[in-house]
Structures are given as C-alpha cells and as structure tokens.
Structure 1
Amino acid sequence: MNLEERTNQLFVELMTNPQITSKELCQKFELTRGQLNYALQKINSSLEEEKLTPIKRTKNGHFIISSEVFSYVKGGEPAKNDLSSGYVFSSDERVDLIQLRLLSKDEYLSLNHFIDELEVSRNTVLRDLKEVDQRIEPYSLKLVYSRKDGYYIQGDEWDKRKLLSDLLITVGQNYHGIDLISKYANIEPNAIETMKKRVELVEQDLDVQFTDEWLKILPLLLILLIRRAQKGRLISYSFKINEAELSDTKEYLAADRVIWDVERLTENERVYLTMVLLTANLSRANILSATEISNMKAALEAVIEKFSKIVGIQLKNKEVLLNRLLVHMRPAYYRIKYHLNLQTKYFQENTDKDLSSLFYLVKKASGPLTDFFKEPLPDAELFMISLFIGSHMVGTSDIVSEDNRIKAIIVCPNGVSIATMLEHSLRKLLPEVNFVAVISAREFYKNTYDADYVFSPVPLKTDKQVFVVNSFLTAEEKKQLRQKFLRTTYAGQTNKVTPENILEVIEKHTTIKDEGALYEDVLALFNPKESVILSTKKNGLTDMLTEKNIMMIENITDWHRVLDMLAAPLKETHIITPNYVEAVKQEMAVLPDYVVLRNKIALPHTVAEAGALGVGITLAVVKKGIVTKSGQRIHTIIFLASNNKEEHIDLILEIMDLAGSTAVDQLEEATDKPKMLEIIRKFSDTRWRH
C-alpha cells in the first residue's frame, strides 16, 4: 500500500483503535470533516488496489473495518515511504524541523533555505519562525537573524542541548521520525549505525538495557552533541564532580565506547556525555555497587515506612516495591545529584486526581530522600516515585483472585517509569486482568510469555490480541479502552466474535438495508452497561457522612477530648473497638503534622489491627482549632477507621481532594449540619463528574 505519511498515520490509528469515531479522529489529527473524507478515500483506494474490503463509516461516525484488513496489516506497522514523495508537513512538524535544522546547522541559513526544504510559501515560513521563537522561549532561548550569520538560536549551550534532546524525542516519535532527523540534521546512516553499535556495547559493559525508544534516539543525540562540542559550542556549566566519585566508575569508563576516537573533546564535555548515558531512561539495570546505594536503599525504605504511616496501611511485598524503586533511582541518582533535568511532560500533563493526591502523600513522606540528597527532590522525580507506589498498591489488591483473572502483559518502549504509570492506570481500569509482566519491545520479541492479551503504546507483530494504548490515558480513552476490552473478551470469554465478524456473516446471507444502523445495534450488544467485577460500589464521603457522625465543636480545644467525641459514633455502630481510639491517642499525644493534608484537614487514624472492625469516618469542625506539634492551627478533623485497604485508600484520596478544594473553607464557615452535608455532597458530585 502506497500511502502518504499523514494518511498512513490515520490508517494506523484506525487499525490500532478501530472504535474511534470520526469526531475523535478529526480532533486528534486536527482535521476538518472534508480532510478526513479525502484521507478515507485515499485509504480505500489503496485497499482496493490490494483487493481488500474498503473501510465503511456509519451515520453515527463509527468505522466498519473488515477482519481481512487487520490480517493484512499484521500489527499496523507503517510501510516504508520515501520522505521526498510529496508529503506535506503539518505546522507543528515544520516548527520542530526548523528548530532541528537550526541546532544542527553547519551553514548559513536564510529564509529561502526553509522555503526550499519544506516546500511552503514565504508567508508560511515567516509564521513558522514566529512560532519557533515562542516555542524556545521557555528554554531561555531566542531566535535571532543577522546578515552575517543568517538565522540562529541564541542562548546558553546547556539550554540548547536540553532543547535538542527534547526535539529528538518529539520528532523521533513520529512515523519515520529517525529518517526525518537523519535528513534535516544531515546525519549519514552509516554514522548512526556505528554509534548504535557503540551504545549497545555500553549496554553490555554496564549490564543495562536502554528503552526501545531511547535506543533509537540516543545514537543521534550523541552524534549531534559531539558535533557541537567539536565546533566549539561548549557547555559552561561545571559539574563539580569529585573525580573519585565518578571517573573511576564503570559508567565513566564505558563512555570510552562512544567517544574513544573523538578529537578535540574537553574533560568537561566527556563528563557531560557520561551524564547523558547515566541519565538515559532505563528499563532494567544492575544496582550501583557504591556505598551510596546502600544509603539510598535505606532512605527509600524509610520513605515507604513513612508513607505507610501517613496512609495507615501496611504495604504488602515491600521488598518487591523497594527493588523496583532502586532500579528507577539508579539514573535518577545522577539526575538529582548533578541537577540534570528529567522530562516533565507526564507530570505536567497528568489529569488523574488520584495520582495528584498520591503524589502529595508521597511528597509528605519524602523527607528521608531529602536528607540523603541534602536537598528537596524535584516534583517530577517525586511524581515518578508516586507512580511506583500507586502501581504497587493496585497490584497487590485482593479484589479478584489471580487464579480467576485473565493474564496480560504490558509492552512499553518508554522506560520503567512511564511503564509504571501505564501499569497503574491499567490495573485500576481492568481489575479483572492479572498483569504478569511489564517488558520492553525487545524483550517481548526475544521471549515467550504466558498471557492472553498484550497492552502496548506501539503496534506489535504477534498472534496475541494487542490493545494499543497511549502511555498517558485520558478519561475518554479509558472509557473507550474498557468498552473495547469488554467487547473483545465478552465478560472474560476469549472468543474472537466481534461486531465486524457478525456483519460479514450477515452480508453473506442477506441484503442489508441500513448497514450503519445494524452495526450500531450489534455494537450495543458488545457494550455491557457495567462489569460484574466492577459492580461493587465503593463508599465515598457522601455515603458515609450523616448528621449523626458530623459535628460542630464550639469551645473544646483539647486534642484527646476531640478524638473521644469523634470516636463515639464509630464505637456505637461497632465499626471500632475502644482499643482503636486509645491506640490513636497513644500514637498521637499531640496532633502530628504528618496526618495534616494540604495544611487544611487533619486525618487521625491508625492500622486496622488496632481495632477497626469495619470502614467508617466522622467529621468535626473545631471552631477554635487544634494546634499541631509545629504550631499550626487546624479546624477540620476527620477521624478514619478501616479494615479494608481498597476503601481506605479511596477515602484518603477523596479527603485529599477535599483538603485542596474551596469546599473545606465553606465547611468551616457553615452554621449547621444540613449545610455541611450539602457542601460535601456538592463537592463529591463535582469530583466524580470530573
């Protein structure tokens, strides 16, 4: 099939996500309805050339794709195309390529260069150059033009290299991205292959495995960094590294595999390239053998214990969590210690309220790591740690026995951190699935895994059913994935009957008057209203708070008297034993700061073994406030007891959201219980809608 690049992207999207609607497809690729129609015509023309059934579209915007097309595609990998075959770049692609061209330039670049290379008008290039200037501003860089030097990027070399690294990652994710980089950065294919072999030798020396995506980008990045250094474009930043701390490490020596024949390279540049290797995203690695690693392990253990204390649960299989965190912290150690920047895209784009709340709890528990590094950890690094902890909590859930669950694996080319984030989302979304492994694409093709299904951000060639998903799932994508999964498995049955199969059979035996309407009706049969496994509703604040267990306390300021008042309704309903409140009092002689969420709500609680017989909460607004150990005055107190880890965590996350909302201020200003309940109900309704 000879499809142009943009049309090919649409075709691959339809192959990997056939349930997507026309509207969603237009939004994702920024297309008008007419442009989508034109692309669909081109796709169908190519299919007909291959004697395949064209793709049809229903009145409601769904696509009907024949199973023979899926069989033909075999995983949906894009065909090799010639980049010079008339493909028209989007605005974003042109802006990225202009930046890449400027950062890899070895000649004078004028307006005409960009016009000729991108094959667009003068006005289009001028608009793109304005966009370039805006895009590079956050990097503290500026686009400049002079008659002597043409167009160039002005700013600190460190910032230029940060931009270059981000650009390669962005462009590399496009179809034929590596070919685009090679062409517009003027890198010979032979040079790329040579550098790739050197990087693979580094993998062997260090016993590490770079992620699939990073292995594609790293050779190109190293070539361009070395090129800049040889042309005198040097970083002024001093690493201030104790030579005994780094230069005698196997990582430092392994850098010789990459730069042994490079001339005119300063010691500082050598250290920089070593740092690039050390901080590359890894999918697995042997742990550092230096004394520092045992200290970091102790700090991580302390963080896990502190987190457990804050949330009031004992995490299962803590050794497994600790080992996963240690693999992640190997490159993170160098990033943090030498102030190198982690990609913040996923942290900044996170829209999952539970992850945001979990991040806050991990940040409260991160003191031991702060002491180890002698400085607070960047939020992006803490966010990654919270992903591991959150994924571990979901992964050790007892909701469904592993023996009764469908087996699946997650294949992720983006590294262990991003894989953990995807695993966290999928475990929550599909509790009926036992995710038995998280692996790279290379590992997937090398080994055989006992699994029914595969989840991956990229198409794979395999006989197994593959669900292609984004690493960071939006709420709508989660909904679509769950519906697609239920239709495919039909409530756990692994037959291969699909709406498309049924339509093909019907077409053989009868004439269909309205194919679109029939498809919609058949589709509805494969879309259960709810899953049996998810039918058990977890109680939230509105379910558990009534006028009997909320209170307004006017004059009492004694911490233990307030605890007694809050515990009374739970003792009366046999949710706790008297021992539970006594255990809380003994553990919290004064109100500790570690149970104060977002400086607004105190959440006294302890482990279930102290005497929690069920799940319950009570809420009090103390008008005069309770003073914490550090001297902070807190007015809203929620007493929590739970013998159910799942409901316990969900309640804490909801209370965390409440603490970060304006509803808590409204609660403290309320004058009666009905008003307090109304405020909580409105907060909860808004939270679950979003």
Structure 2
Amino acid sequence: MEQLDTKFIQFLSMISRQKEIRSITELALNLGVSRRMVYYYVDKLNDFLKEKKRPTLQRQKRKGFEISKIQQQEIQLWMKAQETTDYVLTQNERHLLIGLLILIENKKWQLQHLQDFFHVSRNTVIKDVQLVKEWLLTFGVTIESNKKRGYFVTISELNRRQLIYQQLYLMEIAQMDAIYYLLVHELEIVKTPQELNQAIQAIEAAIYQTKTSLAKEITELDTHILAKMIVIVQNRSKNGWIVEWTKKEAALIEERLEFKIVVQLLQQLNGYFGIDHLEKEAYYYSVLLLCIEKNVDAHFLSNPFENLVYVTKNFVRLFEQIAGIHFHNRDRLIEKIQTHMKVLYYRHVFEVQMPNYLVKDLSDRYEKAFKLTEKVSIIMKSDIVFQTSFSKGLTKTEITEIAIYFEEAILKEQTRRDVLQVLVVSDCSAVLNNVIEAHLQQLLPESLVVGNLKSKSAYYYPGKVDYCISTNLNYVHPQGETVYVSPILTIEDKKRMKELGKKQPLTLKKREKIKLLLTEFQYIENQDAFILELEKLVKSPKRELPKKYQVKMVDFLKNSEFCFVEDQEDSLPTLLDKMSKPLIEEHYIQVSYREQIKEELNQGQLIFLYSKILLVHTDYRFGSIKPGCSFLFLKSPLIVKNNKEVQLIVFLATEETMAHVPLLFELDHLLQSNFYEILIKTASFQAATQQLQS
C-alpha cells in the first residue's frame, strides 16, 4: 500500500468513518466505480491490515461488511502517516501540473526534466505537453521552447496569474491536495505537508477575518483557492514579476474598501512568512477579491452602483414580462443578481476572467432560462445605462451565470411535492450549489433539497436525510447514503442520480391533485364531471406525476379556430375576448387569466417582440392551465398607448413548469423568418404557414 490514487483515498475516507457498508453495489454506486474495483480496494486494504496484524474486512453473504473501531483507527493513522509525494498520477493530474510548472516558470523545464519529475516515458511526456499546448491555445496562448528557458509562454503577468488561478480551481474542485503539495514541494516553498497546512490555515484564517470588515462572504472553495494562490504567487513575486496597473485602474482600486483590508491582511501574513513587494501585490489581491463570486454582499445597493441596480431591476422586469411569470420573492432575486452584477462589472473594468465551467453544460441543460436571459440581454443592449456598465455587452458565460439565478427562482416558485429528502454538501460557490440543486430537481423530480450546507456544518444537520449529495470526497454524512459527485455533474453523475430515484416510487399527494382538478374544472357549473373525477382520484391506489406538455406552435397556426383575421379596428379588450374564447373552451385558460391580461394592458404593460407585433400573457397563477396560443392579424393596424401600432397579436397561455417557453422560442424563430411579410401580403395564416413550410 505504498502508492495512492484519488478513488482509493476516497474509498478509505468513506469506510474509515462508517461502521457498516450495507452493500457493495451501493458503495460502488456512491464512489462512481465498478463493483470489481471495490473488491480490488478491499483486497488492497486487507493486505495492509494483515501487515499491521489487524483483522481483515470480512464480506457477508449478500451484504456488505462491518468495520471495527480498531480497523478505522489503523486506516486513519495510515492516511495521516502516508508520504504525500508517493502518489500515482493520472493523465489529468499530470496535465494540471505541467501547465502550472510552465506558467510559474520557477526553473527551466525541458522534456527530460519533466520525464524525471513524473517518472514516465519520453513519449508520455510528449503527449502530455501536446495536450497542455492545445489547452493553452484555447486562450490564445502559445507554448514556446528554447535551450535557455525550456518550455515557456509570453503573456502579461495578469493573464499568467489568471491561468494559474484557473488550474488551481480545477485542482481544488477535484480535491487534489496531494497534487498541490507536489507542486509547492517542487517550488521549494515548504518542506512538509504539515508546514504547508499550517501556512494555508494561517492565510485562510486571515481571509475569513475580512468577512466582517467587508460585509461580504466569498465561498469556501474560493477561500481555499485564494489561500493556495497566495502561496504560489510568492514564487513569481520574489523574482520581481508583478502585475502592472494603469493610473486610472490603481486609483479605482485604492477607492475600494477591499484595498485597505488586503493591505492589512498581507501585513498580518508578512509576520508569518515574508511577502515580497507587499504594497504592489495588494493591488492584485484587491482586484481578485472584487472579481471573486460572492455568496453575500451587504453593500449590493450601495454607492456608486445605482446604475447597476437599475440594470438588475430592469433585467428581472423584462424576464418576467417575456416569460410570463411573476416572482413572489422578487426582492431576494434582485439582491442575488445585483450581487453578481457587481462582480461582473469589476471583471469588465479590470479585464479579469475567472474560471467558469458552467457554459458548456448549462446553456444547453437549462435552455429555457438561458434563452430567455439571452433575449433580455439583447434587448438591454439598447439601454444607455446598461451600455455604460457593460459597453461590450455580456458574454455567453455571463448570460449563463445570470440564467442560473432565474432557473433557481423558477424552481422555487413551482409547487413542492412529497419527495425524497436530499441534503447537498458542498464548499463551492452559491452559483455552483444552486446548479446542483437545479440538476437534482430535474434528475429526481420528486426530491426535496432540505439543505445546502458547507461540510463543516452539514454533519450537525438534525433533520431526516435519505441521500447526501456531496462534492467533498472526504465528507460522510452520519445518516442516509452519501453519494459523491463533481461540482459540475458529469454524465455518470447524472446516471447515478437517476438510479437513486428508482429506489423509491415517485409520488404526488392526492390533495395536490385535487388542487389541479379545482384549477381544471369549473366545478360549480360542472359538478357532476368534477365529482366523477374526484371519486376516481379517491378510489385510485396509484399516484401519478403531473402532466408533461409537449406543444408546437405550428399546430395552433394550422387550426383555424385559434387564428383570426380582422378587417376593421376593434378595441384591444374586444380583440382579446375573441382570441381567448377557443383557449377557454378547450381548457387552456380560465376567464380570470384573460381579465388579468386586460388589467395589465390597461396599466400600460405592453410587450412588443418586434415592431407592430404584440405578445399578451401573464403569470399562470391567474388561471392558465396548460400551454397554448392564439393569433390575430389586423389588416389595418390598431393604435394603442404611446401611439404604437399593432398588427399582429399573439395570445399565450402559460404553465407552471415553464412548458410554454418553447412556444416563445418557436415564435421568435418564426418572426425572424419571412412569415410576417407573407402574412401581410396574403392576410391568411394558412397561406403563410404553408409557404413557410414549403
């Protein structure tokens, strides 16, 4: 047992804290490995226990195995005493280290140097370096090499440090503490793991003290990375490599409270271990603090951010209007998005890119929220106040980050059902943790996240837990099953989540289904039908999930009952009465939904998707049952408030789970084509639809 690997350490950590492993299958599922690998780990552990003359783990037929206190103590002692540098590196771990060694450039790194450091073949190093080159090229950075410097890159110090921070971020979320020690050991910063831990703890303690002074809270994850970054950057700083700032940037940094706090922090750490170029480095770490994601910012409304507050409120208002939803906890949503907007603002000002691996998965995974947020950002580009804060607009990454807050708010607005009790344990940012929650809601539709806690406090959670979903590989919850996942769920993670859902039948409380019946049936007028459905529900032993609607706009365009063409002008309320009639008769909406739309239009809440094209809809809670739409074309435009012309009206029925949003996307795609031009020429929905399809 002289060599370690990540999964084996995770296996040891889990069994050293649990008295009993009930099932090999469950253990394999929770670790994300095969049953065969678990048996291999057990045999490997038993070899060690035999060396220590301790009882080995005994598998029970059709069960798991028990672990005694003596066995657990031996495992824990071995893990503490194990030489951290004696580690089996995976290909990914080598890539991280090679990238960091080239970026830090503590000495000349040539092919032979890397081969000796990793104890691998020349061909392996060549392949590894090639992959690192491909990674850096995605940032527009080219690895060069010569006899004098070995492998090196030519970029600004700020960009270099951003890439170093990104590698440390990857290392932290994968919890590669042993790999980090290998790095600092090679850089000759510390001599032992104990010395490194003491240094990191001292820095983290100093960072935690800034929370009270700044009235802001950064995540546990970023605290760990920032502490490790301070240790690493000393190697650059002592060689005179410092980030340069313009006078304007320096003046802006000095105005912020973060600068004063960072100076005090570095002075405090300087007494513990020397900080080279302390005053100059204070500017860099101040910017880093400003650009790091915040869980809490008590000053989110403070000066000089009135413009950003306006941008955030307008962003939320437009999202509500386009999506047809009203957030009950609107103020809390604005606070969260405004806190993030401040971070984005500073990143734009200082041109700092922080690591983010959400876009690739989440812009597709949460397509509804993302596309709606993207639509809002496009509209916001014409806003002068928005242009002042974000002259280049928002990137896809930034749009995705904002969309996550909307996704979280939408999920919380939806009805909670009788569910599995799930506890999320993660030291990552609130954004990442919210993403995990959102994934759980989709992968386990009947799950209830009872808490989203840091590993330090999760152990003392008093409530019932069926499953603990943890991104911390060293955490084991005292009750329920602990399942380990990546901060960004992989395909394998998602498969395992779905398997958890199969262990307990999905349920829906009957009283909630009665509420659905009360919504769907106008039972005062249709008492017999309502009573018949109610009797079926009471007698039925089965419990069902809510319906999942799949609707297409073209189906409504082809149905003449939902399409209207008017020759003469009527008042807008009269036109809405005509358009809503088929939707009411077919149980898409209730009369109350139409009346609420009239009230909102009377207040001047008009949504023009394009010139002369009016979208009318509102929150489903006013009486919309399922997604649908109707259309009305006016041969002569109607003049409404502010002398705006209306020629095409789209009446949209919304739905609780946002099933109406795909109709909005279809409508947007339709209006970007020549459908509207054909409609003006032919005054026929049927002709316009047929020509478009042909």
* Alignment TM class, shorter chain as reference: 0.7 to 0.9
Asked if residue 127 in structure 1 is aligned to residue 138 in structure 2, the reply is no
Q: 1:183 aligns with which of 182, 185, 188?
A: 185
Task: Quote how far apart the aligned CAs of 1:315 are.
Answer: 1.0
1:380-391 matches, within 5 Å, as: 380-391=397-408
Paired residues of 1:601 and 1:659 also in contact (CA < 8 A) = no
Task: Quote how far apart the aligned CAs of 1:571 are.
Answer: 4.7
Paired residues of 1:133 and 1:142 also in contact (CA < 8 A) = yes
Q: 1:641 aligns with which of 642, 653, 665?
A: 653
Paired residues of 1:591 and 1:626 also in contact (CA < 8 A) = no
What runs of 5+ residues in structure 2 fail to find an aligned partner? 16-20, 50-55, 510-540
Distance 1:440 1:672 in 2: 56
Match of 2:449 in 1: 435
Shift of the 69–397 alpha-carbon distance from structure 1 to 2, 3 Å rule, reads farther
Asked if residue 343 in structure 1 is aligned to residue 355 in structure 2, the reply is yes
Please, which moves more after superposition, 478-487 or 258-267? Answer: 258-267
Q: 2:257 aligns with which of 241, 250, 260?
A: 250
Provide, for residues 430-470 of structure 1, a one-character-per-residue CA deviation record: whole Å limited to 9, x for no partner: 4544434322223335x544342433222423312233333
Shift of the 145–624 alpha-carbon distance from structure 1 to 2, 3 Å rule, reads farther
1:162-177 matches, within 5 Å, as: 162-172=162-172, 173-175=174-176, 176-177=178-179
1:533-682 matches, within 5 Å, as: 535-541=545-551, 545=555, 548=559, 566-573=579-586, 575-577=589-591, 579=595, 582-583=598-599, 586=602, 592-593=608-609, 603-607=615-619, 612=623, 614-620=625-631, 638-642=650-654, 644=655, 646-647=656-657, 649-652=658-661, 654-658=662-666
Q: 2:222 aligns with which of 207, 211, 214?
A: 214
Asked if residue 452 in structure 1 is aligned to residue 459 in structure 2, the reply is no
Distance 2:368 2:545 in 1: 20
Q: 1:198 aligns with which of 203, 206, 209?
A: 203
Distance 2:320 2:613 in 1: 18
Per the alignment, in what secondary structure is the counterpart of residue 660 of structure 2? helix
Please, which moves more after superposition, 124-133 or 265-274? Answer: 265-274
Provide, for residues 572-602 of structure 1, a one-character-per-residue CA deviation record: whole Å limited to 9, x for no partner: 4473546466457656798613xx6xx9997
Shift of the 292–123 alpha-carbon distance from structure 1 to 2, 3 Å rule, reads same
Shift of the 383–631 alpha-carbon distance from structure 1 to 2, 3 Å rule, reads farther
Distance 1:472 1:635 in 2: 46
Q: Percent identity?
A: 17
Provide, for residues 305-325 of structure 1, a one-character-per-residue CA deviation record: whole Å limited to 9, x for no partner: 332222222211223323434
Distance 1:633 1:23 in 2: 60
Per the alignment, in what secondary structure is the counterpart of residue 130 of structure 1? helix
Paired residues of 2:158 and 2:243 also in contact (CA < 8 A) = yes
Match of 1:526 in 2: none
Task: Quote how far apart the aligned CAs of 1:640 are.
Answer: 1.0
Task: Quote how far apart the aligned CAs of 1:5 are.
Answer: 0.7
Asked if residue 417 in structure 1 is aligned to residue 427 in structure 2, the reply is no
Paired residues of 1:205 and 1:254 also in contact (CA < 8 A) = yes
Provide, for residues 360-379 of structure 1, a one-character-per-residue CA deviation record: whole Å limited to 9, x for no partner: 35535756782572533443
What letter is aligned with 1:194? A
1:500-539 matches, within 5 Å, as: 535-539=545-549
Match of 2:93 in 1: 93
Distance 2:453 2:238 in 1: 37
Distance 2:542 2:498 in 1: 13
Match of 2:57 in 1: 52
Paired residues of 2:424 and 2:453 also in contact (CA < 8 A) = yes
Match of 1:82 in 2: 83
Task: Quote how far apart the aligned CAs of 1:666 are.
Answer: 11
Distance 2:614 2:583 in 1: 18
Provide, for residues 102-123 of structure 1, a one-character-per-residue CA deviation record: whole Å limited to 9, x for no partner: 2233322222211111111222
Task: Quote how far apart the aligned CAs of 1:391 are.
Answer: 0.8
Distance 2:12 2:649 in 1: 53
Shift of the 426–263 alpha-carbon distance from structure 1 to 2, 3 Å rule, reads closer
Distance 2:569 2:243 in 1: 59
Provide, for residues 336-373 of structure 1, a one-character-per-residue CA deviation record: whole Å limited to 9, x for no partner: 44332132311233231334334335535756782572
Match of 2:410 in 1: 393
Match of 1:232 in 2: 240
Match of 1:157 in 2: 157
Provide, for residues 198-230 of structure 1, a one-character-per-residue CA deviation record: whole Å limited to 9, x for no partner: 342232133244433323322221222233133
Per the alignment, in what secondary structure is the counterpart of residue 240 of structure 1? helix
What letter is aligned with 1:93? E
Number of residue pairs the alignment of both structures matches? 611
Match of 1:360 in 2: 374
Distance 1:234 1:543 in 2: 58
Match of 1:109 in 2: 109
What letter is aligned with 1:458? N
Task: Quote how far apart the aligned CAs of 1:39 are.
Answer: 5.2
Distance 1:251 1:141 in 2: 31
Distance 2:673 2:644 in 1: 16
Distance 2:668 2:332 in 1: 32
Distance 1:552 1:489 in 2: 43
1:480-491 matches, within 5 Å, as: 480-487=496-503
Provide, for residues 96-146 of structure 1, a one-character-per-residue CA deviation record: whole Å limited to 9, x for no partner: 211212223332222221111111122222222222222211222222222
Provide, for residues 56-98 of structure 1, a one-character-per-residue CA deviation record: whole Å limited to 9, x for no partner: 9xxxxxxx87153799889x9994543443x443333222211
What runs of 5+ residues in structure 1 fail to find an aligned partner? 30-35, 57-63, 494-530, 681-690
Please, which moves more after superposition, 433-442 or 109-118? Answer: 433-442
Distance 2:300 2:546 in 1: 45
RMSD (CA atoms): 5.0
What letter is aligned with 1:277? L
What letter is aligned with 2:424? I
What letter is aligned with 1:183? H
Match of 2:317 in 1: 305
Provide, for residues 519-575 of structure 1, a one-character-per-residue CA deviation record: whole Å limited to 9, x for no partner: xxxxxxxxxxxx977622132315995654666778979896986764342254473
What letter is aligned with 1:117? F
Per the alignment, in what secondary structure is the counterpart of residue 142 of structure 1? coil
Per the alignment, in what secondary structure is the counterpart of residue 392 of structure 1? helix
Per the alignment, in what secondary structure is the counterpart of residue 467 of structure 1? strand
Paired residues of 1:281 and 1:415 also in contact (CA < 8 A) = yes
Paired residues of 2:507 and 2:544 also in contact (CA < 8 A) = no
Distance 1:436 1:659 in 2: 38
Distance 2:342 2:144 in 1: 39
Asked if residue 265 in structure 1 is aligned to residue 277 in structure 2, the reply is yes
Task: Quote how far apart the aligned CAs of 1:282 are.
Answer: 3.8
Paired residues of 1:576 and 1:613 also in contact (CA < 8 A) = yes
Per the alignment, in what secondary structure is the counterpart of residue 138 of structure 2? helix
Task: Quote how far apart the aligned CAs of 1:414 are.
Answer: 1.1
Distance 1:475 1:635 in 2: 47
Match of 2:529 in 1: none
Distance 2:203 2:321 in 1: 47
Task: Quote how far apart the aligned CAs of 1:299 are.
Answer: 3.9
Q: 1:464 aligns with which of 479, 497, 503?
A: 479
Task: Quote how far apart the aligned CAs of 1:477 are.
Answer: 3.9
Paired residues of 1:195 and 1:258 also in contact (CA < 8 A) = no
Task: Quote how far apart the aligned CAs of 1:165 are.
Answer: 0.8
Paired residues of 2:553 and 2:667 also in contact (CA < 8 A) = no
Please, which moves more after superposition, 139-148 or 663-672? Answer: 663-672
Shift of the 14–545 alpha-carbon distance from structure 1 to 2, 3 Å rule, reads farther
Paired residues of 1:199 and 1:219 also in contact (CA < 8 A) = yes
Paired residues of 2:295 and 2:429 also in contact (CA < 8 A) = yes
